[in-house]
């Protein structure tokens, strides 16, 4: 279901998207994830947005060429300039109506103005228990990332 914080893309897995094993290439899936999440973040913020972080990408099942691919991006948490988006990739044969889960991950986007400066985004207030759990998950991920960054001090040159 599409609403003001949800975007759904649907397309066919094309022969040009194939990997060496004959299934849909993981890189092609990642490109579509980024584009769906970008559309969700841009629609929510009304601004140009950039990807700042991708986490927890899990390729659960392969996607078959010729199948219908459905990507759902849902805003689950807003900071000041950042938007956390949860993504799910499902697919099905064009001849059936049963989708299976293929991939899921989370992405963080930052809204920028025309000069490339960060801008505030409208706040998302979780309402249902499910929404609150998703927002809580996003804050835990943010905390984990801060710890990870602190632990790599001196290992990664910024
Ligand atoms: C996005 C960018 C402008 C942010 O610059 P910055 O001023 O150093 O960013 P900050 O550290 O203040 O982070 C900006 C926001 O992102 C959040 N953020 C950054 N990394 C994050 C992470 N790993 N997890 C969660 N949130 C993160 C910060 O918490 C902050 O959120 P807030 O404004 O809601 O409080 C800069 O990192 C950039 O240009 N990155 C490259 C983007 C890009 O090229 N993407 C790929 C192509 S689209």
70 DSSP β-pair partners: 10, 90
pLDDT score recorded for residue 152: 84
C-alpha pair distances (Å), 107 with each of 12, 92, 98, 115 = 23, 24, 26, 23
Distance 103 CA to ligand 1 centre (A): 24
pLDDT score recorded for residue 19: 94
CB 40, CB 107: distance < 8 Å: no
Task: Output Rg (C-alpha) for the chain, integer angstroms.
Answer: 17
Residue among 30, 52, 135 to mutate when testing ligand 1 (max atoms within 8 A of CB)? 52
pLDDT score recorded for residue 154: 79
What CATH number was assigned to the domain covering residues 6-151? Answer: 3.10.129.10
Tokens of 101: 């889960």
Q: Are strands 48-59 and 100-112 parallel, antiparallel or unpaired?
A: antiparallel
Q: Which residue has the tokens 């025309």?
A: 114
pLDDT score recorded for residue 1: 67
The residue contributing the CA closest to ligand 1 atom 11 is 52
Report, as ranges of residue numbers, the positions in the chain whose pLDDT lies below 70. Answer: 1, 158
Ligand 1 within 6 A of CB of 79: yes
Contacts by 131-136, CB closer than 8 A, 24 or more apart = 131/76, 134/74, 134/76, 134/77, 134/86, 135/76, 135/77
Tokens of 91: 């697919």
Query: Which residues are CB-contacts of 8 (< 8 A; sequence separation ≥ 6)?
Result: 2, 36, 70, 71, 72, 73
pLDDT score recorded for residue 149: 85
């Amino acid at each position: 279901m599409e609403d003001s914080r949800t975007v759904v893309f649907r397309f066919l897995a094309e022969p040009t998207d194939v990997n060496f094993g004959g299934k849909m290439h993981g890189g092609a899936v990642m490109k579509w994830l980024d584009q769906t999440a970008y559309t969700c973040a841009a629609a929510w913020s009304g601004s140009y947005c950039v990807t700042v972080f991708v986490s927890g990408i899990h390729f659960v099942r392969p996607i078959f060429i010729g199948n219908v691919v459905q990507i759902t991006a849902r805003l689950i948490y807003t900071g000041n300039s950042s938007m956390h988006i949860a993504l799910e990739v499902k697919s099905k044969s064009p001849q059936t109506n049963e989708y299976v889960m293929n991939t899921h991950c989370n992405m963080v986007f930052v809204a920028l103005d025309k000069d490339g400066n960060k801008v505030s985004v409208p706040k998302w207030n979780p309402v249902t228990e499910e929404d609150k759990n998703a927002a809580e998950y996003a804050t835990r991920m943010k905390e984990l990332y801060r710890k990870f960054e602190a632990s790599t001090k001196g290992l990664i040159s910024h």
